Amino acid sequence: MSFLLTATCAVPAVGAVVTAALPAGTTEARRRTSRATALGFSVAALVLAAVIAARFSPDGPRYQLTESYSWIRAFGISFSFGVDGIGAVLVLLTAVLVPLVMLASWHDAAPDSGDSVAGTPAPDGSFENNRRTQGFFALILAVEAMVLVSFLATDLFLFYVFFEAMLIPLYFLIGGFGDRAGGPEQARQRSYAAVKFLLYNLLGGLVMLAAVIGFYVIARDQNQGTFDLQALTRAIADGKLVIDSSAEKALFLGFFFAFAVKAPLWPLHTWLPNAMGESTAGTAVLITAVVDKVGTFAMLRYCLGLFPNASKFFAPGILVLAVIGILYGALLAVGQKDIKRLIAYASISHFGFIIMGIFAMTSQGQSGATLYMVNHGISTALLMLLAGFLISRRGSRLIADFGGVQKVAPVLAGTFLIGGLATLSLPGLAPFVSEFLVLVGTFTRYPALGIIATLGIVLAALYVLVLYQRTMTGPVKASVSGMPDLKARELLVAAPLIALTIALGVYPKPLTDLVNPAVADTLVQVHRTDPAPVHPVAATPGGVTK
């Protein structure tokens, strides 16, 4: 039995404990030690994630590198792990982004005299203690560990536990280490955003818990008393586990509600702009580029795998909500005055595309949705982290407080433009491929919805280009006249994200090769095939097609 998956989840968890347990001190050297230790563990997790991707065979069984350790034997609960192509690319995305988030957030936890939570500088000029830095980076590692477990778990109960547990470190990251660009008066807004995030997601989790219990009772009554995902999906496919139609629909809604809150899907989205707006840029990336992907991933793995008939029944309604989310998020992004809230509403629009691709139930749509999860994570991380650098220099999140940045910080402006162009899915950059596949896959089965969704592309161009114009071009405002350009550490954060955005835009085949077998298996589970062409190609007697 391989221990690779367990090790991949355990490394950041151990790193969180080690980082939190480091001795406190009053010098910057202690703070550097905490940051370097956390970064080292995140890089180790990245190495293990790369090994998982390298060892995964697209031609093999769906779940590979499987592990299972008995946990609560009486209820058939175990620590079971397995990776499919979809999970492999999302594990790799998480492992790539976390070290970059740490580098970008290198000084975000630094106490200052204006922050009553952080303390005051010591007489020698150092900070009061090291606990704030330790806590910040330990929480990031804890979130990474829980997200990795969620992507790799093949036990339904194990998935649920970590699906909920990740809310706790995120709550403290939002409320305790939020954005200080607005000054001390923003503390109440940070607290409100953290509580709203927690309550929304806890409500979704409680509904899911009821559905998980109901599902187990139904399965146990048919001698299938287990939480093992592979065993359950096989029993459903073989007819050994039969769920009444009304019960299946109710259970589906219980699972889907929790995932739709986490994703988030309109109208369950309202916590996201608050959470992202009041978080540091690094925490905002964790939320929208990493944690929210657990929701859309779970729709593919659990909603479609466990409730195939209910998934098909509710698909048209979910597609309508997804299209509304695409347009709603884009329209509100156009009108935003706050840079981070603009990116948050843009993400709501993008999640609409992802969910639309999933429930179009075509191979192109679901492959595109999976690629979109990865590409949105990369492009949003790039844009949000650069926005964080911009905001930290000016001390304001308001678009109106910027202007002419490209003349004083041309590298920052240029990289910000690349992030914006990726967000609007410019051809040649990674998000374009996934958005194109989602639209094609949707159009083949729901042409009207596919056409309406394309309006989101037009609106994306509007909010991104207007954002760039108002912040980067025009006369140089006095408040940004002395703004420094990107430093070496910040370039080290932006460079790999830009490289991935270009590389996956030009050559997405390594990702599609990994995800396509899992997508094909998912479509088999829901008894769906791609629609036949409306105008099939005919062959002439001479063998020439026309």
Say yes or no to pLDDT of 112 above 70: no
Q: Percent of the chain at pLDDT above 70?
A: 91
Question: Residue 27: which pLDDT band, with cuts at 50, 70 and 90?
Answer: low
The pLDDT assigned to 179 comes to 66
Secondary structure, 3-state, 396-420: CCEHHHCCCHHHHCHHHHHHHHHHH
Question: Residue 151: which pLDDT band, with cuts at 50, 70 and 90?
Answer: very high
Q: Please answer whether residues 408 and 478 qualify as being in contact, where contact means their C-beta atoms are separated by less than 8 angstroms.
A: no
State the DSSP H helix or E strand holding residue 125, giving kind and residue range, or none if neither: none
Residues 6+ apart with CB under 8 A from 265: 318, 321, 322, 325, 351, 352, 355
Question: Residue 123: which pLDDT band, with cuts at 50, 70 and 90?
Answer: very low
Residues across the chain:
546
| Residue the block writes with tokens 């896959």 | 441
**Least confident window among 5-14, 28-37, 177-186, 216-225:** 177-186
Say yes or no to pLDDT of 30 above 80: no
- State the chain's mean pLDDT as an integer: 87
| 485-498: average pLDDT | 93
DSSP state at residue 502: H
Residues 6+ apart with CB under 8 A from 512: 367, 371
| 76-85: average pLDDT | 90
In Å, what is the CA distance from 9 to each residue of 3, 51, 56, 156, 499?
10, 13, 17, 17, 27
The pLDDT assigned to 1 comes to 57
Q: Contacts by 147-150 with C-beta closer than 8 Å and gap 24+?
A: 147/94, 147/290, 147/291, 147/294, 148/8, 148/9, 148/12, 148/45, 148/49, 148/91, 148/94, 148/95, 149/9, 150/294, 150/297, 150/298
Q: Cβ atoms within 10 A of the Cβ of 272, count?
A: 27
The rounded distance, in Å, linking the Cα atoms of 130 and 28 is 8
The pLDDT assigned to 538 comes to 58
Residue 344, helix vs strand vs coil: helix
| 232-238: average pLDDT | 88
The pLDDT assigned to 111 comes to 53
**Least confident window among 146-160, 217-231, 478-492, 525-539:** 525-539
The pLDDT assigned to 243 comes to 87
Give the pairing type, strands 64-72 and 77-83. Answer: antiparallel
The pLDDT assigned to 17 comes to 93
| 333-338: average pLDDT | 90
**Closest to 358 in 3D by CA, of 277, 309, 301, 411:** 301
Amino acid identity of residue 180, one-letter, is R
**Closest to 273 in 3D by CA, of 343, 187, 377, 330:** 343
Tell me, rounded to whole angstroms, the distance of Cα 543 from its chain centroid.
Answer: 48
The pLDDT assigned to 535 comes to 60
**Closest to 305 in 3D by CA, of 529, 154, 148, 531:** 154
Amino acid identity of residue 64, one-letter, is Q
**Least confident window among 102-111, 113-122, 364-373, 374-383:** 113-122
Say yes or no to pLDDT of 72 above 70: yes
Say yes or no to pLDDT of 122 above 50: no
The pLDDT assigned to 127 comes to 39
Q: Please answer whether residues 498 and 418 qualify as being in contact, where contact means their C-beta atoms are separated by less than 8 angstroms.
A: yes
Task: Tell me the sheet residues that pair with 228.
Answer: 155
In Å, what is the CA distance from 493 to each residue of 38, 234, 505?
16, 43, 19
**Closest to 399 in 3D by CA, of 468, 476, 481:** 468
**Tokens representing 193?**
């955003």
The rounded distance, in Å, linking the Cα atoms of 355 and 367 is 12
| 392-403: average pLDDT | 86
Helices then strands, counting H and E runs in the chain, come out as 23, 2
Question: Residue 481: which pLDDT band, with cuts at 50, 70 and 90?
Answer: confident
**Closest to 263 in 3D by CA, of 313, 322, 331, 334:** 322
The pLDDT assigned to 119 comes to 35
Tell me, rounded to whole angstroms, the distance of Cα 238 from its chain centroid.
Answer: 34
Torsion-angle region of 518 (φ positive above 0: left; ψ -120 to 50: alpha; else: beta): alpha
Q: pLDDT by residue (tens digit) across 419-452?
A: 999 998 899 999 999 999 999 999 998 999 999 9
